[in-house]
Structure 1
Amino acid sequence: MGGESLLEHLNGQLTRLCEVVGTDSGIPSEMLANLLGSAGSRSLDGPPAWPSNVADDHTPVEFSIAFNEGEPPTLRVLGEALGSPPGALANLSAAYDFIDAQAHRLQLSTARLDPVRDLFATDDPQGEFALWFSQVFRSGRRPELKVYLNPELHGIQRAPELVAEALRRLGLGESYQTLLDHGVRPGKLGRKDRLTFFALDLHDTPQARVKVYLTHHDAGVRDVVRAASAVDGIDGAELAEFCEAAGGGRGPFSGRPLVGSYTFTEGVKKPVGYSVYVPIRSYVRDDEEARARVLGLLARYGFDGAQLDRAISAVTRRSLRDGVGLIAHVSLRLGPPRPGVTVYLSSEAYRVQPPRRRQVPASRDLSGRSAAGRL
């Protein structure tokens, strides 16, 4: 087939985003090509090589811009390594090949990955993915790599025991009960509240993190406020206001679910940070509405909204009224090491989701008042 290839499309977006955050695109472009492998040469005239869940249209890459207090924005690239040919097991093997290929260049440390690698190993991967990456590019700094392991790799019901054992091996075993006591609604573990990501920074510094993500289906704002209370110093009112502004109400969020994550560092018994991720694309009519909400949030936290507009222009030339999902998530990061706001941008390499035409009846917020919002 002719036409633009997946790598050409993604690399064009990546190069322009590097310009936005003021970093050289050389290493990011090389890492992108290595990540995609032979799938990168496939024409976008055909279907995706693999139904990746990184993005709604199965593009195996998603971009994000992290706005941080006291420093320039950071570019992140979430991606799934694809085997040749792609497949659940082949992709897992390709992911570890990618780690090996980048280890020397990025001076990676697998000190946290090595003790738990066998827990996330299988010949029959289940769930939506096996291993994803977040490549982090900061102006003037060496790139960083973070891995996302799937606690549901052996099935949903085994996820709790897997996460408990992984935390134990990393010296964080006492923190697991704190996570359960605050983050999981009674009787909901493995049902409405699911352990969906176990993430590790592949560097060996005092700021290296272990992160555990809980996906809260049909949850309301008060549920994530309760979850965040496991972390000292978290302002529940601030968290609630963010979720309401991003999601258009207090919930319950019955479209795509809210996600929360806990940050752990070495030698702690409790999480030191909490983040909430709002799937804004499920609760707006189009990307113009999503942009307006995100600009309001950035202004609230003192960040420059012009940087967001530059990032959007780097990814797409279409009118924001013509689709929904370009702005996929918006997250609030509370606690060390870098509090701030992150905006997630879809590549839309394969498809643009049309805007919603139907007004969904307003949900009821948790105090019984009408909460405006669209699913």
Structure 2
Amino acid sequence: MEQSVRTARMLRALLPPWAHERIEATPAEPSYVADDGFPAEMSVNWSGRHPELRILFDSLGHDVAPPGESGSRILDRVHETFTPRGGRPSPAPLWHSIAWRPPSGVVHKTYFGLYPWPHAQREAAVAEAMARLGMADAWETTRRQVETVEGAREIEFFAVDLADEAQARVKIYYRNHDAGLTEVNRVASVALRHDAEDARAAYQTLAGDREDAGEAALSCLAFRSGPDRAAESTTYLRLPDLASGDEEAVERTAALLHREGVDPGRFRLLTAALAPGPLSETNILELVSYRTAGRRGDVTTYFRFPVYDRSLTPVDLA
């Protein structure tokens, strides 16, 4: 109980000012985070001895100060690129993430949402930011390889780890349109560390008997200082589209965790505790991601909560 209280206090201290505002019937400012407009999601990564808790939130225009000098330096090098001062049509929406895997400290990440801009502006901003970080060649090589994969996709986010530059990752997210499992696997295979056979089996476990990747599957390519192209890749599948509801989604995710050598018991308990009703009637397990980067069980489950009436606050995810 004491640990729970300490954790809650720590998280409250890290959240933006809007976290203390009363939740009304509709959002004062609908967010792109969730399709009902709520500006936050919770996720858990199940690899390793201890799960990692993550909270992602939309800053909604509030300043979120990066922790420590290393994080500040990285953010300072690219921040202007995503603003009108850098030639963009508007400031990029800013999201922030905090990740905590006890007994380690909290890890911070910042995301620039590129989705409001024309595609040419997104591509220009990413190219400039990667050049500022000394990763222009790695990005150009990766971009060209992604463009050889059939299908339609668009760059949607640019993200940086707010950590020591030697450890920090830079991540570029693609949203895929009408993609098949084979297609998203080919995008992921652009990365240096990706096991296509293992990934295909994981995707199929989540997709059931379908060959498509469902609605708007995401592909994240992560860059580190040194490699000549993306070092790692993560694929995100949207479970409400691929499964009939949380009951089926939980069973498929539990099967994937078991295959990866992770006891799914804690995942089942967590989902049951978070669901507002019977799993047969809910859809809170929004995304499940899978990464093959040298460690087993690299599965992350993303929960989005039914806060607002979606018919009143639709958010365009196209």
> Is the counterpart of residue 59 in structure 1 residue 38 in structure 2?
yes
Partner of 1:76: 54
Q: What TM-score results when the alignment is normalised by the length of structure 1?
A: 0.75
Cα offset, 1:241, TM superposition = 1.6
CA distance in 2, matches of 1:310, 1:125: 45
Number of the residue aligned with 2:22: 42
From 113, 138, 143, the equivalent of 1:150 is 113
Give the residue type in structure 2 aligned to 1:267. Answer: G
1:163 to 2:126 alignment: yes
Residue 299 of structure 1 deviates from its aligned partner by 0.5
Aligned with residue 294 of structure 1, among 249, 253, 256: 253
Match of 1:120 in 2: 82
Deviation at 1:56, TM superposition (A): 2.1
What is the 5 A alignment of 1:351-362?
Answer: 351=309
Residue of 247, 259, 274 corresponding to 1:315 = 274
Q: Deviations over 1:301-356 (max 9, x none)?
A: 011211112322342341111122x0000000222689700000112222589xxx
The residue identity in structure 2 corresponding to 1:183 is V
Counterpart-to-counterpart distance in 1, 2:171 and 2:193: 18
Matched with 1:360 is none
Shift of 1:64: 0.3
Given residue 246 of structure 1, which amino acid in structure 2 is its aligned partner? L
- C-alpha offsets along residues 242-282 of structure 1, whole Å, 9 cap, x if unaligned? 222212345434x5211111111112212211110001111
Q: Deviations over 1:139-183 (max 9, x none)?
A: 122211101112345422221122111111111111122222332
Change (3 A) 1:169 1:205: closer
The answer (yes or no) to whether the contact 1:126–1:152 under 8 Å persists in 2 is no
Aligned to 2:300: 342
Question: 1:366 matched to which residue of 2?
Answer: none
Q: Residue type matched to 2:82 in 1? A: F
Is 1:131 matched with 2:89?
no
Cα contact 1:273–1:336 (8 A) shared by 2: no
Change (3 A) 1:23 1:352: farther
RMSD: 2.8
Q: Which runs of 5+ in 1 are unaligned?
A: 1-14, 83-90, 354-375
Tell me, yes or no, if the aligned pair for 2:41 and 2:56 is still in contact at 8 Å. yes
Per-residue CA deviation, residues 343-370 of structure 1 (Å, 9 max, x unaligned), is 00112222589xxxxxxxxxxxxxxxxx
Query: What is the total number of aligned residue pairs between the two structures?
Result: 309
Distance 1:305 1:351, change over 3 A: farther
Superposed, which structure 2 residues align to 1:75-114 within 5 Å? Answer: 75-82=53-60, 91=61, 94=62, 97-99=63-65, 103=67, 109-114=71-76
Shift in Å, 1:290: 0.6
Counterpart mapping for 1:15-34 below 5 A:
19=4, 24-32=7-15
Q: Distance in 1 between matches of 2:160 and 2:177?
A: 24
1:48-97 deviation per Cα after TM superposition (whole angstroms, max 9, x unaligned): 122111112211110001011x3300000010123xxxxxxxx2xx1xx2
Aligned-partner SS, 2:37: coil
SS at structure 1 position matched to 2:77 = coil
SS at match of 1:194: strand
- Cα distance in 2 between the residues matched to 1:75 and 1:39: 18
Work out the CA distance in 1 between the residues paired with 2:172 and 2:106: 22
SS at match of 1:111: helix
Instruction: Answer whether contact 2:53 2:100 (CA < 8 A) is retained.
Output: yes
SS of residue matched to 1:62: strand
User: Could you say if the C-alpha distance between residues 153 and 170 of structure 1 is closer, same or farther in structure 2, counting changes exceeding 3 Å?
Assistant: farther
More displaced stretch, 266-275 vs 311-320 = 311-320
TM-score of the two chains, using structure 2 as the length reference: 0.87
- What is the percentage of aligned positions where both structures have the same residue? 28
Partner of 1:72, secondary structure, is coil
Contact 1:151–1:163 at 8 Å: present in 2 too? no
Distance 1:43 1:176 in 2: 41
For residues 213 and 139 of structure 1, the distance between their equivalents in structure 2, rounded to whole angstroms, comes to 27
The aligned residue for residue 316 of structure 2 is: none
Q: Note if contact 2:193-2:233 (Cα within 8 Å) is conserved in structure 1.
A: no
Q: Distance in 1 between matches of 2:7 and 2:126?
A: 37
Contact 1:171 1:267 in 2 (8 A): no
1:351, 1:290 → 2: CA distance?
Answer: 22
Q: For structure 2, list consecutive stretches of 5 or more residues without a partner in the other structure.
A: 312-318
